[in-house]
A and B are shown apart, each in its own frame.
Chain A
Amino acid sequence: MAPPEPARDRRPDPRSRQAVLRAVKYLGQHRLDTAGALISLLLVAAANLAAPQVVRVAVDRGLAVRDWSVVELAVAGLLAIAVVRGLLTFLQGFLAERASQGVAFDLRDGLYARIQKLSFSYYDQAQTGNLLTRLTNDVEQVRTFVGSGVVQLAASLAMLLGTIVVLVRINAVLALAALGTVVPIFFVLRRFVKRVGPLFGQVQQSLGKLNTQLQESLQGLKVVRAFRGEARELAAYSAINDTLRDQNLESIKAISNSFPFVNLFANLGTVAVVGVGGVQIFRDQLTLGELVAFNSSMAFLLMPLISIGFLAAQISRAGASAVRVFELLDTPLELTDAPNARVLPPLQGKVEFRDVVFRYAGAEAPILKGISFTIEPGQTVALLGATGSGKSTIINLIPRFYDVTSGAVLVDGQDVRELTLASLRSQVGIVLQEALLFSGTVKSNIAWGRPDATLEQVKAAAVAAQAAGFIEALPQGYDTLIGEKGVGLSGGQRQRLAIARALLTDPRLLILDDSTSAVDAETERAIQRALDALMRDTKKTAFVIAQRLSTVRDADLILLLDQGRIVAQGTHAELTATSSLYNEILGTQLKGEGGAP
């Protein structure tokens, strides 16, 4: 039941402080708004302090001596102050918010630009949920603090000082009595901040975990059911839920241990002021009006204190968020255009691997161990090899999704690292093994790589990919909405859309990574025939990865891969004559002596 005692760090994290400062500097871009907000705010503070003075005048010079004209003046004065103060408060709030929205825009813009440029190796490790949180929650935390927080902090401090000055000027003795109650308030709030700051973070974390657990158990619904994991999923969820509840109860405790007592001490101020003030009035050291005004001004002592307390709790949260935001913003880009990168002229289609060695970041052993081959323009090349032998890895090196560890990948004789990424990738069409569709229409998905394509061009691509038939059978044809990950389409249908998408970009070099695995043999053959015609006519170079013999048989060159090395290469005829491994693979497909259960 007892929640784990949070590791409380007494000293504020220096990283967090730096990050907060850096976030505050973003306000520099929105100087005018910030300055306007600050000025309005100081004026508001002044107006706030002036109002009780008017009340005092009304009581002392008007009501006490029964001078009605003074009362009238005071009422008019109060209203005038209220209107001016209202306008200024509006300006202050509006300008501060506008500045903070500007900061949020800048941060998000920078972050988005960064995530678009980060390489595949970054995403191999990254978690979608985590990245999304940084771009949404964390930015929002920073924004709230930078906007209202900074301005409010300044306002509260100004208010606090101003109030103290006013109180001291009305009556120093009373002021001392009032300030006496501020000291315990300060301690109560400090304890609150220390306790609640980290707790907020923990609650946030637990919520994240809870949602991840829910999401995974629903995504894997069928697996959970088939393997009767319901009870275990529930137990895992309950455990996180219990932690969350306990953390929430903890926060409630911390809040209930603080704010009633802040109020109490503030109220004690009233007791002290009325008590001491009463005695002073007996001795004619104070007027009734002053006592009343004093009492009203005391409220202005409490408000900024509570605000500062809340803000201090917020700073620790905003700090943690700012650290995460800047961490992403500062992630080095591993793959960028070289300083003197050339633009790749229209591609002929020659591809060469020169003794390529490749190791995934974080892995111990290289996956590709010295790969060399040359493809002439217009050739169709098939990559064949066992699961995990490195086929996808090889083709990922051509559009430079990863950089080789050693050796070189060349297209048309130029090292891909010396070309601009944009000019290289725009001429390479690729259908990834796990093709992802986007929410939108069928048409917008096919035209994804070439948004300006006409409907005719889209249709032509769909026909070549053997997708036109089923698309036309859909309720709204090419305008049918399909969801994220292509909900509503069967595996084979999704793959065909992905092929159409790649074909539409009219690439000089086409790469298909096991793109027809979910398609039945008949459809696959049709796709192949269409592709063949397309390739031969336009002399495109193509890389095809497939497990089915029928797919690879007609290739101009077959590369046989085993454990990161090319163990044989040649045409189908050559390989059947020379490679025992190739024959073994053929055997498993043609003879089917699998000895299945």
Chain B
Amino acid sequence: MRRPGSLESMAETEVQRARDRAGVTRRLLLELRPFVRPLVAALGFVTISAVGQSVAPWLVGHAIDHDIAHGDGRALAITMTVLLLVYVASAFSQRAQSRLIGGTGQRVLANLRVRLFSQLQALPISYFDTRPLGDLMSRLQGDVDTLNQLFAQGLTQLLGQLLALVGILVAMLVLDWKLALASFTIIPVMLGVTAFFAARARAAYRKTRETTGKVSADLQEGIVGIREAQAFNRTAENLARFRERNAANRDANVSATGITSAFSPAIDVLSTVGTALVIGFGGWLMLNGELSLGTLVAFLIYVQQFFRPVQLAASVYTLAQSALAGSERLFAVLDAQVEVKDAAGATVLGQVEGRLTFEHVSFAYDATRPVLSDVSFEAPAGSMVALVGRTGAGKTTIANLVPRFYEVTQGRVLLDGHDLTTVTRSSLRAQLALVPQEPFLFSTSLAENIAYGRPDATREQVEGAARTVGLHDFIVTLPKGYDTVLGEGGGLLSQGQRQLVAFARAVLADPRVLILDEATANIDTRTEALIQKALSTLLAGRTSLVIAHRLSTIRSATLILVVDGGRIVERGTHDELLAKGGRYAELHGQQFADGPAAQRVRAST
């Protein structure tokens, strides 16, 4: 538990400055807008406890000087009662204040988190292409966390302490300005010492952060890549490398500690110097009859009290800088352009027939490198259109344009004659279902995974979808059946079974247009044939867009498009294309090189 104001808490937050500090501050304050009332109330309580904190030592001094020195028991009783009341009032206002401010901070944060999350759900897919997930996650977490620290430690503690500091300084000046000024000479020294240590500590902590990052990366790979490590017999090497990094991390931490552990003793020495100063100079004043003993005692209390707020102020300053920088990045996420808004007057797409048209479509992920050029084709309602071609030809990219994961650069994509940009995204996607190249399974139950696109589906419907893809018989052999909770990434299922789950999900969504991107690559051909048979009745009249490397998968397509270098270079049915003897025939030849064995099979079946 790091105490606020400790050197560690100062040094661990990387000093980062927001580029537009004023702007970010203004926006942060706007976030606080709904909480004006509790905050104003909190300010009131802060004032009360600050006044209390600065008045109390004065009362103690008064008791010693006047009541005790004059042997006045009644006056002492009165002073003590007042002191008691002051303390009680301070305690309750401290309680109220920390609830109001802390509570507001947590509410603002909770609010911000939800807004960030829904923003992330709305950002275009291309936003994530350039930002590795790990980075994005750790940055979001880190930035929200610095804000949390600012709210939790900074604001709650600092505000009160700072006001108290002002009160203390004023009280000291009022009590005896000479001794007060003498005592204040410690403050710049202390700030200087703090800055000195903080700078050194920051450098040291940069090193620890680096080594810690390496240790975490190693851990992550060590766990995620464990199967490869054991398969390639690399565990001993991994351990040696980890040991090295672990040791470097330890050493960096120890040397950082060397600096941080010197800090608090240094401050301690200073605080004693302060006490000595008060006793020395105050004593001299007293011997000259310019100061009473009670005032001296009050000063001794004050001097010890003003060290903490000064230290705190220094640390909160650093914290606030980082929080501003963090907020700037968070605001940048919140401000990022979300998926192009549905056009004004975008219509809700009703039930469609499923006629899919690409009209002179060109597309580039980044402007410098066109990926698709002038792609045109039409898939009549109920047809099966297949995309074939080499790795990297642009097949997945074509498929990505249909659910509008990306927006076309030129040309139009139409469904039943509606330009996709003129309909709402949600109504468009309701008509589609997609089985992506790499199946993604949630770590929920099998039933929930299958019903992801249709959460209100009954168990019968879920089972129906599983039956269609030939998964039902397997699922019922599992001890918990459909309620089996899948591990990370699908665990305990074979690779093909994972694809089948994703397939069942698409089937259950009951789409008008089905997009299959290598949906059966890991599935054996016999199972695939069974699926196709089942699908043919189920999806009768629906359009499908199928990508496959295995040509047997798409042989019966209504239309086969051969994609090469982002263009459609050949089109036609299987027989037409074979007869043509072009690129498709070549691909086909490679896969089914009619060796004698294959000839025999044909003859025998």
Contact stretch, chosen from B12-20, B28-36, B312-320, B489-497? B489-497
> Contact between B68 and A281 (Cβ–Cβ < 8 Å)?
yes
> Contact between A226 and B601 (Cβ–Cβ < 8 Å)?
no
B99 contacts the other chain (CB 8 A)? yes
A343 contacts the other chain (CB 8 A)? no
A171 contacts the other chain (CB 8 A)? no
| Cβ contacts B572-605/A at 8 Å (1 or 0 each) | 0010000000000011001111010110111011
> Contact between A525 and B497 (Cβ–Cβ < 8 Å)?
no
Contact stretch, chosen from A256-264, A351-359, A456-464, A533-541? A256-264
> Contact between A97 and B521 (Cβ–Cβ < 8 Å)?
no
> Contact between A596 and B265 (Cβ–Cβ < 8 Å)?
no
CB distance from A222 to the nearest CB of B (A): 6
CB distance from A27 to the nearest CB of B (A): 15
List the B side residues contacting A421 at CB < 8 Å: 233
CB distance from A137 to the nearest CB of B (A): 11
B408 contacts the other chain (CB 8 A)? no
Q: A218-B137, A583-B604 are in contact. Are A108 and B590 (CB under 8 A)?
A: no
> Contact between A214 and B272 (Cβ–Cβ < 8 Å)?
no
- What 10 A-B pairs are tightest by C-beta distance, nearest first? A387-B496, A93-B261, A82-B272, A592-B555, A227-B453, A86-B265, A449-B232, A264-B91, A492-B391, A245-B110
> Contact between A75 and B533 (Cβ–Cβ < 8 Å)?
no
B1 contacts the other chain (CB 8 A)? yes
Tell me, in angstroms, the Cα distance from A493 to B486 when the chains sit together: 28
Tell me, in angstroms, the Cα distance from A75 to B276 when the chains sit together: 5
User: Could you name 17 residue pairs across A and B whose Cβ atoms are closer than 8 Å?
Assistant: A51-B272, A63-B293, A78-B275, A124-B487, A127-B488, A128-B224, A222-B440, A234-B118, A256-B96, A267-B56, A268-B87, A274-B63, A449-B232, A573-B597, A584-B526, A588-B525, A597-B384
Tell me, in angstroms, the Cα distance from A388 to B56 when the chains sit together: 78
A340 contacts the other chain (CB 8 A)? no
> Contact between B106 and A430 (Cβ–Cβ < 8 Å)?
no
List the A side residues contacting B114 at CB < 8 Å: 234, 237-238, 241
Residue of B nearest to A586 (CB): B601
List the A side residues contacting B235 at CB < 8 Å: 116-117
| Cβ contacts B188-216/A at 8 Å (1 or 0 each) | 00000000000000000000000000011
> Contact between A518 and B283 (Cβ–Cβ < 8 Å)?
no
> Contact between A432 and B488 (Cβ–Cβ < 8 Å)?
no
> Contact between B590 and A521 (Cβ–Cβ < 8 Å)?
yes
Residues facing A in B541-556 (CB within 8 A) are: 542, 544, 546, 549-556
Residues facing A in B389-435 (CB within 8 A) are: 389-392, 403, 405, 426, 429-430, 432-434
> Contact between A590 and B217 (Cβ–Cβ < 8 Å)?
no
Best-surrounded residue of B265, B268, B286 (most CB of chain A within 10 A): B265
Tell me, in angstroms, the Cα distance from A238 to B389 when the chains sit together: 44
B350 contacts the other chain (CB 8 A)? no
Q: A234-B117, A576-B600 are in contact. Are A89 and B264 (CB under 8 A)?
A: yes
List the B side residues contacting A313 at CB < 8 Å: 1
> Contact between B430 and A260 (Cβ–Cβ < 8 Å)?
no
Residue of B nearest to A391 (CB): B494
Q: Give the contacting residue for A548; candidates B405, B433, B591; CB below 8 A.
A: B591
Tell me, in angstroms, the Cα distance from A72 to B443 when the chains sit together: 73
> Contact between B283 and A260 (Cβ–Cβ < 8 Å)?
no
A6 contacts the other chain (CB 8 A)? no
Best-surrounded residue of A85, A89, A238, A521 (most CB of chain B within 10 A): A521
Q: Give the contacting residue for B91; candidates A263, A270, A363, A585; CB below 8 A.
A: A263
Tell me, in angstroms, the Cα distance from A597 to B557 when the chains sit together: 8
> Contact between A425 and B590 (Cβ–Cβ < 8 Å)?
no
A285 contacts the other chain (CB 8 A)? no
List the A side residues contacting B243 at CB < 8 Å: 109, 112
Q: Give the contacting residue for A125; candidates B234, B238, B491, B553; CB below 8 A.
A: B491
Q: A229-B452, A387-B524, A425-B233 are in contact. Are A86 and B266 (CB under 8 A)?
A: yes
A275 contacts the other chain (CB 8 A)? yes
CB distance from A387 to the nearest CB of B (A): 3
Residue of B nearest to A364 (CB): B479
> Contact between B522 and A547 (Cβ–Cβ < 8 Å)?
yes
Contact stretch, chosen from B119-127, B326-334, B370-378? B119-127
CB distance from B602 to the nearest CB of A (A): 6
Tell me, in angstroms, the Cα distance from A492 to B389 when the chains sit together: 12
Contact residues of A: prevailing secondary structure: helix
Tell me, in angstroms, the Cα distance from A171 to B440 when the chains sit together: 74
Q: A310-B1, A448-B234, A449-B233 are in contact. Are A75 and B438 (CB under 8 A)?
A: no
Tell me, in angstroms, the Cα distance from A421 to B587 when the chains sit together: 43
Best-surrounded residue of A102, A217, A252, A573 (most CB of chain B within 10 A): A252
Q: Give the contacting residue for B232; candidates A216, A232, A292, A448; CB below 8 A.
A: A448
Besides A278-B67, A593-B556, 20 more A-B contacts (Cβ < 8 Å) are A68-B284, A97-B257, A125-B491, A220-B440, A238-B114, A257-B95, A260-B92, A260-B94, A261-B91, A274-B63, A288-B64, A292-B300, A387-B496, A388-B493, A401-B227, A426-B233, A493-B392, A521-B549, A553-B597, A597-B532
> Contact between B556 and A587 (Cβ–Cβ < 8 Å)?
no
> Contact between A252 and B99 (Cβ–Cβ < 8 Å)?
yes
Q: A83-B269, A244-B110, A252-B102 are in contact. Are A105 and B597 (CB under 8 A)?
A: no
Residue of B nearest to A125 (CB): B487
> Contact between B522 and A514 (Cβ–Cβ < 8 Å)?
yes
CB distance from A18 to the nearest CB of B (A): 23
Tell me, in angstroms, the Cα distance from A51 to B246 when the chains sit together: 42
B258 contacts the other chain (CB 8 A)? yes
> Contact between A518 and B521 (Cβ–Cβ < 8 Å)?
yes
List the A side residues contacting B590 at CB < 8 Å: 521-522, 525, 550
Residue of A nearest to B109 (CB): A245
| Cβ contacts A411-440/B at 8 Å (1 or 0 each) | 000000000011001101010111110110
Q: Give the contacting residue for B246; candidates A68, A109, A233; CB below 8 A.
A: A109
Tell me, in angstroms, the Cα distance from A125 to B246 when the chains sit together: 27
Tell me, in angstroms, the Cα distance from A235 to B502 when the chains sit together: 23
Contact stretch, chosen from B76-84, B166-174, B176-184, B459-467? B76-84
A372 contacts the other chain (CB 8 A)? no
| Cβ contacts A216-254/B at 8 Å (1 or 0 each) | 111111111111111011100110011011001100110
Residues facing A in B88-115 (CB within 8 A) are: 88, 90-92, 94-96, 98-99, 102-103, 106-107, 109-110, 113-114
List the A side residues contacting B117 at CB < 8 Å: 214, 217, 233-234, 237-238, 241
CB distance from A521 to the nearest CB of B (A): 4
A215 contacts the other chain (CB 8 A)? yes
A155 contacts the other chain (CB 8 A)? no
> Contact between B265 and A108 (Cβ–Cβ < 8 Å)?
no
B136 contacts the other chain (CB 8 A)? yes
Residues facing B in A482-497 (CB within 8 A) are: 483-484, 487, 490-493
CB distance from B426 to the nearest CB of A (A): 6
Q: A244-B110, A584-B526 are in contact. Are A490 and B595 (CB under 8 A)?
A: no
Q: A425-B232, A592-B555 are in contact. Are A490 and B268 (CB under 8 A)?
A: no
B242 contacts the other chain (CB 8 A)? yes
B366 contacts the other chain (CB 8 A)? no
Best-surrounded residue of B64, B514, B536 (most CB of chain A within 10 A): B64
Best-surrounded residue of B227, B296, B437, B502 (most CB of chain A within 10 A): B227
A115 contacts the other chain (CB 8 A)? yes
Tell me, in angstroms, the Cα distance from A573 to B137 when the chains sit together: 55
> Contact between A81 and B272 (Cβ–Cβ < 8 Å)?
yes
> Contact between B436 and A521 (Cβ–Cβ < 8 Å)?
no
B250 contacts the other chain (CB 8 A)? yes
Q: Give the contacting residue for A85; candidates B87, B265, B494; CB below 8 A.
A: B265
> Contact between A66 and B440 (Cβ–Cβ < 8 Å)?
no
